[in-house]
């Protein structure tokens, strides 16, 4: 059931002077009188200064979050999660998690946020909110339609709560959060969040005063194309550089990254000025890194699933060369082990300039379709289809593969009345969000069809279902 009372009209909500009041009016999640929740209540009740500071930090973003929750008909109590996650600090950086919602990098990428050297979408308050609400809705829908389960999974990981729900289902027990009996050490956010709900609901019971946050938008979003100096953007918007940076901690440098445009949060009064003068922004000349000297050393860190053969293929060298360079006595590798590579350009820098001729290729030990495709500059799926191989095939050393010429007509999939469920073969650089957008399907459906979690990592060659698996008749 929606937390938004249908009798309570939108106009009535908009007329309220204080955002805290607007949230309070729509609260529905009960807070139990448990010892762990009572301890957190006692702790926060003595922190008037904390609530003063949180209100100041929340003021630019809270209206947007509240409006988005109402639009999606999600519990307004979720707007309080950033208080216990980051104290509403958009620039917050933990040991891995970051931003208002403290998202971890892999989950952020899978839900469409950009995380790179010059920009971290987790610290963009608006974009990260949309991603987190998508994630929380996914958790709710797949964990017994229980919002406490969703928040617990956000805190401790989807797999732990999913396993507890499945365990209770198998035993014929209820699957609500309190029936799962998750050990407290795994869900430390839960009692804090529940205590915060009670404090915001009845602050007078705890001698707290919540500073008024105006019930209207304070900032808006426009976009800025890289690479430009943040100082110039601030000048055109008529705000200080410090103000622009405080609203946009997602930018890690003094300039926006090159190559695409990025969200830019500005006070509502400044957006019109910025957009009117945006054409005056001067692109910064980005100095390209010089090509490495041929004698420069290169190294490779061993990842899970690597072999000497696959590493050699990725880096255009031979197993023999790797053995000699690293004085290896065996082919056994350890994850995290550093291997020295022969000097020269990396595979990314030495892209073949000539057309590929039709040829045959003999498979070497440790190679896969993906590593061979990378080496030959061909799509791995095209190579598989050209050789009429089954999906997920394991190649044998000495096996011969036919390699089509670069100008050959692409091989089409065979169709039949009993066609299998459509799939996508993961390529280097893919993300769950990018795949979902490519095929115009919901990211949450893609996760569910493939039994993946929000922080699941993809590996090249992995097969993903693009529809529910068809039952055999």
**What CA–CA distance (Å, rounded) separates 248 from 367?**
45
Secondary structure of 351-381 in HEC code, one letter for each residue: CCCCCCCCEEEECCCCCCHHHHHHHHCCCHH
| Rounded-to-integer distance, Cα 84 and Cα 73, Å | 22
Residue 68: active-site member: no
- Name, in order, each residue with C-beta under 8 angstroms of 434's C-beta and a sequence gap of 6 or more: none
User: Which residue of the set 85, 158, 367, 381 is catalytic?
Assistant: 85
User: Which H helix or E strand runs over 242?
Assistant: helix 241-247
Encode burial over 180-193: b for 16+ CB neighbours within 10 A, e otherwise: bebeeeebebbbbb
**Residue keyed to tokens 């795949």:** 435
Q: Bridge partners of 229? A: 255
The answer to whether 322 and 308 have CB atoms below 8 angstroms apart is yes
If you count DSSP H runs as helices and E runs as strands, how many of each does the chain have, helices first? Answer: 21, 10
| Nearest alpha carbon to residue 4 among 68, 49, 70 | 70
Q: Which two tokens stand for residue 372?
A: 């061979």
Q: CA-to-CA distance for 422 and 441, rounded, in angstroms?
A: 12
Q: Would you say 376 and 403 are in contact if contact means Cβ atoms under 8 Å apart?
A: yes
**Residue 222's beta-bridge partner residues?**
264
Phi, psi of 423 (to 5 degrees): -135, 160
Tell how strand 219-225 and strand 261-267 pair up: antiparallel
Contact 78, 219 (CB under 8 A): no
Give catalytic residues, as residue numbers. Answer: 85
């Amino acid at each position: 059931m929606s937390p938004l009372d249908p009798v309570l009209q939108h106009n009535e909500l908009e007329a309220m002077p204080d955002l805290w009041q607007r949230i309070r009016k729509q609260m529905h999640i009960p807070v139990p009188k448990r010892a762990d929740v009572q301890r957190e209540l006692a702790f926060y009740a003595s922190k008037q200064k904390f609530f003063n500071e949180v209100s100041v930090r929340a003021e630019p973003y809270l209206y947007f979050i509240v409006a988005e929750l109402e639009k999606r008909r999600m519990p307004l109590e979720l707007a309080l999660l950033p208080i216990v996650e980051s104290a509403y600090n958009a620039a917050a950086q933990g040991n891995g998690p970051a931003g208002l919602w403290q998202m971890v990098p892999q989950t952020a990428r899978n839900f469409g946020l950009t995380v790179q050297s010059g920009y971290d979408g987790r610290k963009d308050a608006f974009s990260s909110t949309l991603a987190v609400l998508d994630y929380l809705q996914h958790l709710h829908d797949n964990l017994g339609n229980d919002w406490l389960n969703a928040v617990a999974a956000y805190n401790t990981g989807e797999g732990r709560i999913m396993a507890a729900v499945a365990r209770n289902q198998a035993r014929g027990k209820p699957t609500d959060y309190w029936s799962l009996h998750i050990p407290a050490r795994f869900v430390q956010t839960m009692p804090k969040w529940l205590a915060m709900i009670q404090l915001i609901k009845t602050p007078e019971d705890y001698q707290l005063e919540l500073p008024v946050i105006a019930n209207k938008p304070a900032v808006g979003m426009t976009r800025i194309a890289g690479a430009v100096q943040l100082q110039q953007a601030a000048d055109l918007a008529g705000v200080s550089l410090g103000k622009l940076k405080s609203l946009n901690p997602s930018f890690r440098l003094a300039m926006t990254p090159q190559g695409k445009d990025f969200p830019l949060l500005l006070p509502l009064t400044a957006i019109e000025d910025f957009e009117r003068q945006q054409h005056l922004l001067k692109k910064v000349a980005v100095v390209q890194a010089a090509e490495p000297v041929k004698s420069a050393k290169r190294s490779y860190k061993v990842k899970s699933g690597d072999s000497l053969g696959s590493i050699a293929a990725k880096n255009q060298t031979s197993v023999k060369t790797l053995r000699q360079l690293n004085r290896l006595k065996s082919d056994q590798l350890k994850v995290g082990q550093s291997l020295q590579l022969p000097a020269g350009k990396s595979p990314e820098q030495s892209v073949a300039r000539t057309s590929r001729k039709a040829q045959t290729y003999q498979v070497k030990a440790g190679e896969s379709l993906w590593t061979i495709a990378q080496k030959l500059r061909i799509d791995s799926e095209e190579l598989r289809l050209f050789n009429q191989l089954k999906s997920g095939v394991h190649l044998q050393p000495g096996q011969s593969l036919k390699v089509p010429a670069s100008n050959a007509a692409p091989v089409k999939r065979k169709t039949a009345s009993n066609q299998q469920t459509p799939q996508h073969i993961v390529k280097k650089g893919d993300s769950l969000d990018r795949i979902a957008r490519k095929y115009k399907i919901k990211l949450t459906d893609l996760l569910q069809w493939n039994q993946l979690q929000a922080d699941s990592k993809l590996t090249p060659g992995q097969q993903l279902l693009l529809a529910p698996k068809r039952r055999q008749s």
